[in-house]
Amino acid sequence: MKMIGFIGLGTMGKPMAINLLKKGYTVTVYNRTMDKAYELENMGAKTASTPAEAARNADVLFTMLSNDAVLLETFYSENGIMREVRPGLTVIDCSTVSPETSRKLHDELAARNADFLDAPVTGSKPAAESGTLLFMVGGNKEVLDEHRPILEAMGQRILYMGPSGSGSIAKLAHNTMVGINAIGFIEGMSLAVKAGLDPEQFLQVVLSGAANSRQAELKGPKLLNRDYSTQFSLQLMLKDLLLAGDLTGQYQLPSPLLKAATSIFQMGLSRGLGEQDLCSVVQCYEEWMQKQISN
């Protein structure tokens, strides 16, 4: 059984690493705030004090980090992953980052006879906990096929999207739709409530009709309960939409809905909602209509 390194124990990374431990893998974990690493140590994980140490004895190294800058720092800092890159190592990055960053890391690892897959996920925290994530993977398909059983310890579907960077592009296109759907759902709920409809009854209409979506299913109960605990944070949603905007700019592709959703999440960030769940952006609508979705 392959030795696993895992860097990044946030909302998604922590349950992913736990699922690897549950499937019997030997896992060495690293996180910038070590308390999360110690928690997994009690479950059988080994802990590393630097990213380089997490990579040192790993056959496969996972990274699940918040953005391009943090990912690149984890690779290139004084005690970063690059110190321990060697022939035969495979790095699987599950972060949502730009395709340019994914291709850069792929090419630099290839120059050292190591492999790199960009393999972002969808499913948010509940799917990470249940091991039912979907991985969208870019890179060498033979490398993916070799490591597919490890991904299956954390997810129920692994889709090959194409060469390096393709997984990252798929995730940005996907999250463009997530962000737009979330705003559409919240906007419709706000209209119904402002007009005096019961939010619980209207949510049943949405869930039973053509307006239904995963966002309605996931966020509807959270809105009714004013539960903004994080499944996927507002600031990460905004980060992904901004990356998607960069991508549409490169292709000179008009994206009016993406721009509108991005602007609303930026308003949410300016209200200090960044670390809350993305559905907390409903508070902007509540301010505009001077009424709460639910009490």
CATH of the domain at 56: 3.40.50.720
Q: Is the pLDDT of residue 78 over 90?
A: yes
Residue 295 lies in a domain: no
Give me the CATH number covering residue 273.
1.10.1040.10
- Domain boundary pick from 97, 128, 163: 163
pLDDT tens, residue by residue, 14-37: 999 999 999 999 999 999 988 888
Is residue 261 one of the residues assigned to a domain? Answer: yes
Q: What pLDDT, on a 0 to 100 scale, did the predictor assign at position 124?
A: 84
Is residue 294, in this structure, part of any structural domain at all?
no
On average, the pLDDT of the chain sits at: 97
- Give the pLDDT mean for 209-230: 96
Range from 32-41, 80-89, 252-261 carrying the lowest mean pLDDT: 32-41
* Residue 69 pLDDT > 90: yes
pTM: 0.95
Q: Are residue 73 and residue 123 in the same domain, yes or no?
A: yes
Same domain, 193 and 111: no
- For residues 134 and 12, membership in a common domain is answered with yes
Domain count of the fold of the chain: 2
pLDDT score of 295 more than 80: no
Answer yes or no: 219 catalytic. no
32 and 150 in a single domain? The answer is yes
Q: What is the mean pLDDT of residues 222-243?
A: 96
Q: How many CB atoms lie within 10 A of CB 64?
A: 26
Of 46, 171, 219, 239, the catalytic one is 171
pLDDT in tens, 139-170: 999 999 999 999 999 999 999 999 999 999 99
Q: Which of residues 138, 163, 188 is at a domain's end?
A: 163
Q: What is the pLDDT of residue 153?
A: 97
In a domain, 197, yes or no: yes
Is the domain of 83 the same as that of 123? yes
The answer to whether residues 255 and 226 belong to one domain is yes
User: Within this chain, do residues 44 and 143 fall inside the same structural domain, yes or no?
Assistant: yes
Same-domain status, 218 and 143: no
* pLDDT at residue 206 greater than cutoff 90: yes
Based on the fold, state whether residues 157 and 16 are members of the same structural domain.
yes
The whole domain housing 186 covers 169-289
Q: Please check whether residue 215 lies inside any domain of the structure.
A: yes
pLDDT over 90 for what percent of the chain? 95
pLDDT score, position 294: 86
Residue 39 has pLDDT above 90, yes or no: no
Query: Looking at the predicted structure, is the pLDDT value of residue 257 above 80?
Result: yes
Domain end: 123, 144, 163, which one? 163
